[in-house]
């Protein structure tokens, strides 16, 4: 793999390649250099002769000069690691050449037929991009630039073609042959091979191409669309997994119905196939009519999957299904527009899950993810706008910023115009751009026109990186409250100065005597702005950013009593959870930084314990919401808050403070937590209240564990032994894994024996140990890396052990740097095998600038060691160099 030394030119602009290329560095691709491609490729015919170690591909490309582009007398067909076996134009030999990895074919007329043959080795494809082998089957992953690893092509999302695909292979090895669209013909050959021909009537970019060949069985259930068409829906898996596919099929049906009801989108083919594969770099892929999924997001039953896993399956199935309109029918012009499809589709899947599972808890969960994953990205060396301006390797931009902040940005538009006008905007967007490769600008304009709102200033959300900070001042004037808000968007790499952005905030002014104020939406558009709000009564308390209307940090020093009031009384559930988080954050960061006096620490702790006690006793709460209120802020988030301004984060001190608070809560509320655990343990698996009960059961256990490890070990072992579902079993084992006790080894061993051979569950076994707070976690991870079940070739397994460890706040940040060294070693070992996954480890080390000097030096040294190793992939090179800049 020598990607770093043979730069390719993804956009096909020769001038760009030369301008941006410096020796031994992959080129920088700039958004402003976008040019339409010189040729249209309206029709593509592919012929695959399939074999695990040798697959022949014959591509027939009908090409026509693009009247809307600059004239080009050569066509650049992107390749990655390919050698042409033969190339003809209109049936004759041609004077082709290679430019780096790309094939250059001279063309002088207005339309031609190019035929290219290539040969590939799927079994050798450890990157899992292009056509690869997984568990004896063949499958593809083409987004973003994998199609060029199958055949030479104009591999860019603004080139749309209709595909007809013929494939042939051994019937015994590949009884099932699938591709996009509809099967139009199939047959057997006398030599034990068989073939199938597929046609996809919808023009699509190459990144949506997919092919699967393997020994699979389907869980099939037809869906009737709103206009009465019957769609055959299949979830394809290995035979032994079939029993765990019902939830996926049901989730697909719910998604199809919801998109009709809520966004007016009907499915457009007669067939919808989902295939589960166990080797996959990401969660799933929305290939037209043939989604390919990581098994993790398909297979679920109560014995092997937690409630969280069930939710994730439903969410990812929905996400990929919704892409059929937001991504496939309307696709992206270039990869800088990735958030056009991803931000919008994440918003759509979030709204779907809110409708399926309840709005309040889902919203709080999504905000927690945003804070834990996206805020740190926005505050670090890899910060980028949701529509980036440049990249070296697009795989590095499938980020929490593009996905989750992208969703928040569109959610803000929806909050500003309301649900109905937003729908008018999205209807217009789909109508206007159906069949096109569009831009983020097209989306914003459609919302402006369809919803009737001016988004001129709002566009800055697409261009500026960084999480805005809003500071709050309050003054009472007569029977009003004057709220003065100031916004500041911090400097980010390449963007030293920022402009104010419109920040929609739902606010209410309550009275501490109990009267709750009415909610209204204000939009902070200027750098500083005042708003006059009515008072609901004396002693006002402001509830701000209710429902988390804007992805910002609210900077205010609210007195403890006000936070306690909001945590207990606010009528907005996310404001309640925010108030509790704020209470805990200020106490924990104050404690970790040594900024609080002993008296203040005691008062803070007492206030938090009081708020927890109130949540425990509040009969109006259901357990799912109670669980949310009883989750302390993550150490990652505390790290972010501590590293504000000149202050650096001290992960050791954060960990000690947080564990200390857990122990204090566990001690003070020992009886109530025990009672809660006992009550929750009595709720049956299929009771409608069961989910909430399972959630708080494990939260209670972990608080008890911090206070009284011996008691917790007994309780957790009981929970483990009595469990009739994975949620309880995993929760109990999680608590046990962090304790130094006999029950730990016994239950870990019994879990392994019980689930040996079930990859997804064995992944959990690795993860629990890698995430554990056990003092010997580093030694455990080293040993697990030698376990016969461990392999660097399977991304789920790598994530289950090493990625989990990189997120272990204690082990990863071990003061001697051993955790950093281990992660750097993983990056170096994985880079030649699977660069995309290797590069995903870099951000954990990239946070060095915001950390206390001892650890910062150790982290930086590891990044430098990676850089010095040389011959890095484009993926890892880009992430490490940005992290060191």
List active site positions.
320
By the 10 Å C-beta count (0-12 exposed, 13-18 middle, 19+ buried), 60 is classed as middle
CB of 831 to ligand 0A1, least distance (A): 16
d(CA 844, CA 855) in angstroms, rounded, equals: 12
List beta partners, residue 212: 139, 178
Closest to Zn ion by CB, 348 vs 546, is 348
CB of 285 to Zn ion, least distance (A): 8
CB of 19 to ligand 0A1, least distance (A): 28
Q: How many chain residues bind Zn ion (CB under 5 A)?
A: 2
Closest to ligand 0A1 by CB, 700 vs 798, is 798
CB of 521 to Zn ion, least distance (A): 29
CB of 403 to ligand 0A1, least distance (A): 7
Closest CA to 138 of 82, 241, 215: 215
Closest CA to 138 of 115, 170, 181: 170
Cis peptide before 144 (omega within 30 of 0): yes
d(CA 677, CA 666) in angstroms, rounded, equals: 12
Residue 545 near residue 552, CB atoms below 8 Å:
yes
Closest to ligand 0A1 by CB, 339 vs 719, is 339
The β-bridge relationship of strands 137-141 and 130-134 is antiparallel
Helix (H, G, I), strand (E, B) or coil at 297: helix
Closest to Zn ion by CB, 581 vs 836, is 836
d(CA 498, CA 637) in angstroms, rounded, equals: 24
CB of 410 to Zn ion, least distance (A): 13
d(CA 806, CA 536) in angstroms, rounded, equals: 48
Closest to ligand 0A1 by CB, 211 vs 579, is 211
Q: Which does 584 bind (CB under 5 to 8 A by kind): Zn ion, ligand 0A1, none?
A: none
Closest to ligand 0A1 by CB, 695 vs 840, is 840
Burial 414-453, CB ≥16 within 10 A → b, else e? bbbbeeebbbbbbbbbbebbeebbbbbebbbbbbbebbeb
Closest to Zn ion by CB, 180 vs 345, is 345
Ramachandran quadrant class, 452 (left: phi over 0; alpha: psi -120 to 50; beta: rest): left
By the 10 Å C-beta count (0-12 exposed, 13-18 middle, 19+ buried), 722 is classed as exposed
Q: Which does 284 bind (CB under 5 to 8 A by kind): Zn ion, ligand 0A1, none?
A: ligand 0A1
Task: Map the footprint of Zn ion across residues 283-342, applying CB under 5 A.
Answer: 342
Residue 39 near residue 66, CB atoms below 8 Å:
yes
The distance of Cα 800 from the centroid of its chain, to the nearest Å, equals 16
CB of 319 to ligand 0A1, least distance (A): 6
d(CA 617, CA 412) in angstroms, rounded, equals: 35
Closest to Zn ion by CB, 179 vs 346, is 346
Contacts of 694 (CB under 8 A, 6+ apart): 307, 680, 683, 725, 727, 728, 731
Q: Which does 398 bind (CB under 5 to 8 A by kind): Zn ion, ligand 0A1, none?
A: ligand 0A1
Q: Where does this chain bind ligand 0A1 (CB under 6 A)?
A: 141, 143, 281-286, 319-320, 342, 398
Closest to ligand 0A1 by CB, 39 vs 202, is 202
Place of tokens 């808050």: 641
CB of 345 to ligand 0A1, least distance (A): 7
CB of 606 to ligand 0A1, least distance (A): 45
Neighbour tally for 775: CB within 10 Å: 12
By the 10 Å C-beta count (0-12 exposed, 13-18 middle, 19+ buried), 67 is classed as exposed
In degrees rounded to 5, what are phi and psi of residue 291? -70, 140
Task: Map the footprint of Zn ion across residues 729-788, applying CB under 5 A.
Answer: none
Q: Which does 141 bind (CB under 5 to 8 A by kind): Zn ion, ligand 0A1, none?
A: ligand 0A1
d(CA 181, CA 756) in angstroms, rounded, equals: 38
Closest to ligand 0A1 by CB, 500 vs 795, is 795
Residue 633 near residue 584, CB atoms below 8 Å:
yes
Residue 217 near residue 239, CB atoms below 8 Å:
yes
**Residues 800-819: x where in contact with Zn ion by CB under 5 A, - otherwise, as a string:** --------------------
Distances (CA, A) of 832 to 1, 128, 497, 621, 706: 6, 12, 39, 51, 41
Residue 372 near residue 634, CB atoms below 8 Å:
yes
Closest to ligand 0A1 by CB, 840 vs 847, is 840
Q: Which does 143 bind (CB under 5 to 8 A by kind): Zn ion, ligand 0A1, none?
A: ligand 0A1
Closest to ligand 0A1 by CB, 143 vs 763, is 143
Place of tokens 């937590």: 673
Q: Which does 282 bind (CB under 5 to 8 A by kind): Zn ion, ligand 0A1, none?
A: ligand 0A1
Closest to Zn ion by CB, 287 vs 345, is 345
CB of 328 to ligand 0A1, least distance (A): 10
Q: Which does 587 bind (CB under 5 to 8 A by kind): ligand 0A1, Zn ion, none?
A: none
d(CA 795, CA 294) in angstroms, rounded, equals: 10
E strand or H helix at 480, and its extent? strand 480-488
d(CA 535, CA 517) in angstroms, rounded, equals: 7
Compute the Cα dihedral for 701, 706, 709, 711 and give only its sign: negative
**Residues 331-370: x where in contact with Zn ion by CB under 5 A, - otherwise, as a string:** -----------x--x-------------------------
d(CA 668, CA 652) in angstroms, rounded, equals: 24
Residue 575 near residue 543, CB atoms below 8 Å:
yes
CB of 719 to ligand 0A1, least distance (A): 35
d(CA 126, CA 113) in angstroms, rounded, equals: 33
d(CA 525, CA 521) in angstroms, rounded, equals: 13
List beta partners, residue 274: 235, 291
CB of 341 to ligand 0A1, least distance (A): 7
For the chain, first and last CA: distance in Å?
25
CB of 400 to ligand 0A1, least distance (A): 12
Q: Which does 366 bind (CB under 5 to 8 A by kind): ligand 0A1, Zn ion, none?
A: none
d(CA 386, CA 409) in angstroms, rounded, equals: 9
Can you give the binding site for Zn ion, defined by CB under 5 A?
342, 345
């Amino acid at each position: 793999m020598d990607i770093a030394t043979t730069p390719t030119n993804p956009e096909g602009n020769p001038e760009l390649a030369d301008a941006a290329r410096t020796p031994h560095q992959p080129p920088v691709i700039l958004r402003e250099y976008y040019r339409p491609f010189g040729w249209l490729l309206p029709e593509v015919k592919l012929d695959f002769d399939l074999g695990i170690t040798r697959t022949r591909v014959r591509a027939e490309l009908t090409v026509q000069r693009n009247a809307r582009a600059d004239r080009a007398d050569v066509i650049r067909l992107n390749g990655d690691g390919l050698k042409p076996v033969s190339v003809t134009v209109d049936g004759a030999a041609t004077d082709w050449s290679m430019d780096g990895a790309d094939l250059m074919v001279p063309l002088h007329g207005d339309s031609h037929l190019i035929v290219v043959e290539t040969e590939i080795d799927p079994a050798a494809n450890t990157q899992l991009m292009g056509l690869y082998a997984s568990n004896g089957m063949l499958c593809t992953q083409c987004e973003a630039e994998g199609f060029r690893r199958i055949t030479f092509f104009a591999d860019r999302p603004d080139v749309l073609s209709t595909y007809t695909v013929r494939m042939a292979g051994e019937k015994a090895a590949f009884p099932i042959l699938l591709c996009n669209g509809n099967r139009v013909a199939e047959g057997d050959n006398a030599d034990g091979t068989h073939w199938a021909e597929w046609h996809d009537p919808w023009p699509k970019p190459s990144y949506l191409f997919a092919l699967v060949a393997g020994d699979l069985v389907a869980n099939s259930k037809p869906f009737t669309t709103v206009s009465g068409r019957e769609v055959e829906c299949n979830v394809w898996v290995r035979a032994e997994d079939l029993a765990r596919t019902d939830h996926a099929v049901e989730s697909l049906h719910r998604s199809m119905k919801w998109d009709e009801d809520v966004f007016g989108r009907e499915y457009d083919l007669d067939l919808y196939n989902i295939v589960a594969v166990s080797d996959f770099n990401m969660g799933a892929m929305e290939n037209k009519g043939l989604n390919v999924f990581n098994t993790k997001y398909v297979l679920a039953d109560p014995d092997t999957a937690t409630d969280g896993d069930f939710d994730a399956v439903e969410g990812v199935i929905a996400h990929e299904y919704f892409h059929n309109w937001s991504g496939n029918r309307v696709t992206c012009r270039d990869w800088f527009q990735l958030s056009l499809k991803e931000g919008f589709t994440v918003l759509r899947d979030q709204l779907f899950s809110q409708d399926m599972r309840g709005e309040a808890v889902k919203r709080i969960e999504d905000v927690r993810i945003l804070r834990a994953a996206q805020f740190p990205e926005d505050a670090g060396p890899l910060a980028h706008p949701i529509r980036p301006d440049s990249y070296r390797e697009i795989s590095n931009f499938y980020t929490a910023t593009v996905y989750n902040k992208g969703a928040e940005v569109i959610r803000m538009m929806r909050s500003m115009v309301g649900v109905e006008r937003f729908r008018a905007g999205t209807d217009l967007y789909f109508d206007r751009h159906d069949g096109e490769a569009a831009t983020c600008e097209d989306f914003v304009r459609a919302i402006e026109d369809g919803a009737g709102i001016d988004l001129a200033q709002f566009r800055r959300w697409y261009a500026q990186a960084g999480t805005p900070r809003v500071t709050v001042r309050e003054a009472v004037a007569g029977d009003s409250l004057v709220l003065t808000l100031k916004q500041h968007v911090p400097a980010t790499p390449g963007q030293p100065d920022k402009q104010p952005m419109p920040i929609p905030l739902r606010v209410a002014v309550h009275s501490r005597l109990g009267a709750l104020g009415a909610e209204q939406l204000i939009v902070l558009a200027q750098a500083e702005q005042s708003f006059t709000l009515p008072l609901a009564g004396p002693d006002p308390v402001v509830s701000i950013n209710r429902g988390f209307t804007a992805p910002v940090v609210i900077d205010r020093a609210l007195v403890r009593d006000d936070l306690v009031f909001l945590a207990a009384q606010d009528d907005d559930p996310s404001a309640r959870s925010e108030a509790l988080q704020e209470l805990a954050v200020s106490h924990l960061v104050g404690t970790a930084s040594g900024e609080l006096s002993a008296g203040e620490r005691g008062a803070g702790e007492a206030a938090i314990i009081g708020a927890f006690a109130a949540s425990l006793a509040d009969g109006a709460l259901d357990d799912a919401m109670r669980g949310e209120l009883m989750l302390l802020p993550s150490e990652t988030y505390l790290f972010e808050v501590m590293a504000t301004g000149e202050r650096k984060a001290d992960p050791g001190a954060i960990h000690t403070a947080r564990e200390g608070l857990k122990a204090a809560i566990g001690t003070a509320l020992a009886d109530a937590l025990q009672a809660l655990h006992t009550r929750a343990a009595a709720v049956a698996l299929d009771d409608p209240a069961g989910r909430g009960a399972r959630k708080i059961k494990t939260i209670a256990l972990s608080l008890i564990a911090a206070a009284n490890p011996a008691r917790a070990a007994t309780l957790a072992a009981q929970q483990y032994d009595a469990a009739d579902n994975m949620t309880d079993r995993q929760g109990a084992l999680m608590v046990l894994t962090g304790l130094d006790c006999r029950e730990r080894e016994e239950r870990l061993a019994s879990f392994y024996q019980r689930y040996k051979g079930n990859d997804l569950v064995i992944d959990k076994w690795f993860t629990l140990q890698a995430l554990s707070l056990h003092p010997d976690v580093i030694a455990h991870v080293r040993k697990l890396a030698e376990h016969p079940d461990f392999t660097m070739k399977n991304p789920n397994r790598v994530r289950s052990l090493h990625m989990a460890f990189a997120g272990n706040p204690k082990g990863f940040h071990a003061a001697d740097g051993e955790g950093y060294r281990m992660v750097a070693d993983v990056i170096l070992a994985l880079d030649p095998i699977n660069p995309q996954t290797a590069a995903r480890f870099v951000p954990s080390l990239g946070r060095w600038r915001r950390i206390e000097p001892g650890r910062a030096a150790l982290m930086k040294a590891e990044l430098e060691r990676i850089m010095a190793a040389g011959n890095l992939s484009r993926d890892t090179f880009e992430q490490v160099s940005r992290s060191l800049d």
